[in-house]
Copies of this chain bind each other. A is one copy, B any other.
Amino acid sequence: MSISKPLILVTNDDGYQAKGIVTLIEAMKELGEIMVFAPDTHRSGMSSAISTSQPLRARMYRKEEDLTAYVCNGTPVDCVKLALNEFTDRKPDLLVSGINHGSNAGISVLYSGTMGAAIEGCVFEVPSIGFSLCDFNADADFTATADVARILAAKVLQKGLPNGVCLNVNVPAGKIKGIRMTTQTNGKWVNEYHRSKDGMGRDVFWMTGNFENWEADNEDNDEWALANGYAAVVPVKIDLTAYDFIPVLRKWEV
């Protein structure tokens, strides 16, 4: 009787053809059996969105020893849900999402489809990690990020993660100094739109903007780590309850 290899579910939000997920699949191969379930196209900024009024479809696009890959017309969260509800009876030992083309540090975790997928894995009680490289280039150099992904995936397979907690991993472009365990930087995006005109002369607004860091002097957070050449790991909770504030609310007379 053979001992089965760990099952690793791989997804992303840039679509199944993106260099980031192709790299991540290769990086995971030495750690286990791979199931890919990825969006058919670019689904950046989809957060934890789900398709409530359109039906989902999926088709296998690659099949090799220890690797089965599907492409799906849904969001990253749709991919995770459909894979785990309908395409495997075996609970994965690990979910990895990415490697995203662009940072998901700080408040961007809220908007990230990469992290939406990792958070959904966590809802299924599968140890889950989202990986992002701080480089939007379609042909970015993922070498260092693939190394970080391999190291952290192996560690999570060995140690596990608590239920309700997944990891948001961001890696700076270029050479990295190491891996730091950090908090989510407090701050927000500002100047978020570029106003231009359509062909009829009507106003249209394109997303743009820059991140305003509200705690630039905090060496514990992910933006500090990235700015100083470290990969940043933030443990992310799926229970959003602000427990500290409940006693205050209970004193409100409503």
Interface residues of A (CB under 8 A from B): 42, 44-53, 55-58, 75, 77, 81-82, 85-86, 107, 109-111, 116, 119, 123-124, 151-152, 155, 159, 162, 164-165, 179, 181-184, 186, 188, 191-193, 195-196, 198, 202-207, 233-243, 245-246, 249-250, 252, 254
Contact = CB atoms under 8 A, between A and B. Distances in A.
Nearest to A198: B55
Contacts of A241: 183-184, 234-237
Nearest to A78: B207
A45 B49 contact: yes
A183 B238 contact: no
7 contacts: A44-B52, A56-B204, A77-B111, A110-B123, A110-B240, A152-B254, A155-B254
A236 B240 contact: yes
A33 to B, nearest CB: 23
B49 A47 contact: yes
Given A51-B207, A52-B207, 15 more contacts: A45-B52, A48-B110, A49-B75, A50-B111, A55-B204, A55-B206, A81-B193, A86-B205, A110-B119, A151-B254, A155-B252, A155-B254, A159-B252, A182-B246, A183-B241
Given A47-B49, A48-B47, A85-B192, A57 B242 contact: no
B123 A192 contact: no
Contacts of A205: 55-58, 82, 86
A198 B55 CA distance: 9
Contacts of A82: 193, 205
Contacts of A86: 193, 195, 205
A196 to B, nearest CB: 8
Give the top 6 A-B pairs by smallest Cβ distance, nearest first. Answer: A55-B204, A47-B48, A235-B242, A47-B47, A181-B249, A45-B52
